[in-house]
């Protein structure tokens, strides 16, 4: 049987969705656990509170709820979805959580897989899915970013525990032969600097029998050199965004919204200043959710759409950056 090939050249954005757990961990509550304060955290990060998964939450459920929301916004029949890509570094199943989301959605015709790139994950997944659609074999895709970093935080480390939260977001994208709203992208990796941000394997040695040893599975808490990650982000993100704007013949004045990975408010402001993008065009919900890794960008886009900020045909410049070290940028038109 001959494989079906669609005649398509571009990608359109049809719907967005998000989900965050109910539990709210404020700066004041963290201050009862470690030596810090609301003023200290806000002044250095911009974060006031973050969401923490309850015992009943996991990445599969969070991703499913965000995806279902996006599918409903797109008004799609789940049987018409061809591809599901889940960006996560904290899967509910280390073998992959995307297939479980596919099953919960009932999207039996979709191929589903996980993509791991930490805080760059959603952007990398969106780029990956868009290339599948432009290739002509798939028509509809759901791209999900979901992470449950609370499970991997050292809650006694005041340098890192203040930063992270849990959440998920999703976009429904569709191939089209009429236009292309995925205007352009760039991606970078520098493994030489990868030690600045890790969720490392524990390396706990054990023995099976006699002289046959092995390493028992498991991971240590998140380890981060915050100063180096900050310097990396404020240097590299403006460079890759400027390069992308130049390559696509867009000026920063034509950008309606700057949607960056929500890591630190000072990073967001610094990148915007270097691109000469005014503060009112820099979208931020960091204060409420903290750093949700792969969840931040789609969570921010969905919130901005619900709040009637992002509208049809708005130009969005976006960048994800983090562990790897990896970073990327994309320029899209909503709709």
List of domains in the chain: 10-180 (3.40.47.10), 183-193+222-333 (3.40.47.10)
Q: Is 203 a catalytic residue?
A: no
Burial class from Cβ neighbours inside 10 Å (0-12, 13-18, 19+) for residue 24 reads middle
H/E segment holding residue 333: strand 326-333
The model's pTM is: 0.94
Tally of residues, the chain:
335
User: Are residues 188 and 170 in contact, defined by beta-carbon separation less than 8 angstroms?
Assistant: no
Catalytic one among 69, 181, 186, 291? 291
Catalytic one among 27, 261, 264, 285? 261
Close Cβ partners of 282 (under 8 Å, ≥ 6 residues apart) = 257, 258, 260, 268, 269, 272
Burial code (b: 16+ CB inside 10 Å, e: under 16) for 81-99 equals: bbbbbbbbbbbbeeebbbb
* Residue the block writes with tokens 């054990």: 206
- Strand boundaries in 210-312, DSSP class E: 212-216, 223-224, 257-260
**Residues paired with 172 in a beta bridge:** 15, 142
Structure tokens at 91: 């899967």
User: Are residues 23 and 52 in contact, defined by beta-carbon separation less than 8 angstroms?
Assistant: yes
CA 251 from chain centre, in angstroms, equals 25
Q: Is 119 a catalytic residue?
A: yes
Alpha carbon distance 218, 203 (integer Å): 8
User: Are residues 135 and 8 in contact, defined by beta-carbon separation less than 8 angstroms?
Assistant: no
User: Are residues 22 and 61 in contact, defined by beta-carbon separation less than 8 angstroms?
Assistant: no
Q: Is 161 a catalytic residue?
A: no
Tens of each residue's pLDDT in the chain, 335 residues: 345 556 668 999 999 999 999 999 999 999 999 999 999 999 999 999 999 999 989 999 999 999 999 999 999 999 999 999 999 999 999 899 999 999 999 999 999 999 999 999 999 999 999 999 999 999 999 999 999 999 999 999 888 899 999 999 999 999 999 999 999 999 999 999 988 888 778 877 878 888 888 778 888 888 888 889 889 999 999 999 999 999 999 999 999 999 999 999 999 999 999 999 999 999 999 999 999 999 999 999 999 999 999 999 999 999 999 999 999 999 999 99
Catalytic one among 58, 119, 181, 264? 119
Cis check for the bond before 82: say yes or no (omega within 30 of 0).
no
For the beta carbon of residue 1, count every other beta carbon within 10 angstroms.
3
User: Are residues 229 and 45 in contact, defined by beta-carbon separation less than 8 angstroms?
Assistant: no
């Amino acid at each position: 049987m001959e494989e079906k090939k669609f005649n398509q050249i571009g990608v359109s954005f049809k719907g967005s969705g998000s989900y965050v757990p109910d539990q709210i961990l404020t700066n004041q509550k963290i201050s009862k656990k470690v030596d810090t304060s609301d003023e200290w955290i806000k002044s250095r990060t911009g974060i006031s509170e973050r969401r923490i998964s309850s015992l009943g939450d996991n990445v599969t459920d969070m991703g499913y709820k965000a995806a279902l929301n996006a599918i409903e916004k797109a008004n799609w029949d789940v049987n018409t979805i061809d591809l599901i890509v889940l960006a996560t570094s904290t899967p509910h199943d280390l073998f992959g959580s995307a297939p479980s989301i596919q099953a919960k959605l009932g999207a039996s015709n979709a191929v589903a897989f996980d993509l791991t790139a930490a805080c760059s994950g959603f952007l990398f997944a969106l780029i990956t899915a868009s290339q599948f659609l432009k290739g002509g074999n798939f028509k509809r895709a759901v791209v999900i970013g979901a992470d449950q970093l609370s499970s991997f935080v050292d809650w006694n480390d005041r340098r890192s525990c203040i930063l992270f939260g849990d959440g998920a977001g999703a976009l429904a994208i569709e191939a089209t032969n009429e236009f292309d709203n995925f205007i352009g992208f760039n991606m970078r990796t520098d493994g030489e600097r990868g030690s600045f941000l890790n969720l490392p394997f524990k390396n706990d040695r054990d023995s099976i029998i006699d002289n046959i040893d092995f390493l028992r599975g498991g991971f240590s808490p998140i380890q981060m050199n915050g100063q180096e990650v900050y310097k990396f982000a404020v240097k590299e993100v403006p460079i890759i965004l400027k390069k992308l704007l130049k390559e696509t013949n867009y000026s920063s004045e034509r950008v309606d919204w700057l949607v960056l990975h929500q890591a630190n408010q000072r990073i967001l402001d610094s990148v915007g200043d270097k691109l000469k993008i005014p503060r009112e065009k820099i979208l931020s919900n960091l204060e409420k959710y903290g750093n949700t890794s792969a969840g931040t960008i789609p969570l921010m886009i969905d919130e901005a759409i619900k709040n009637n900020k992002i509208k049809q045909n708005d130009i969005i410049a976006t960048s994800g950056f983090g562990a790897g070290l990896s970073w990327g940028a994309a320029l899209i038109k909503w709709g």
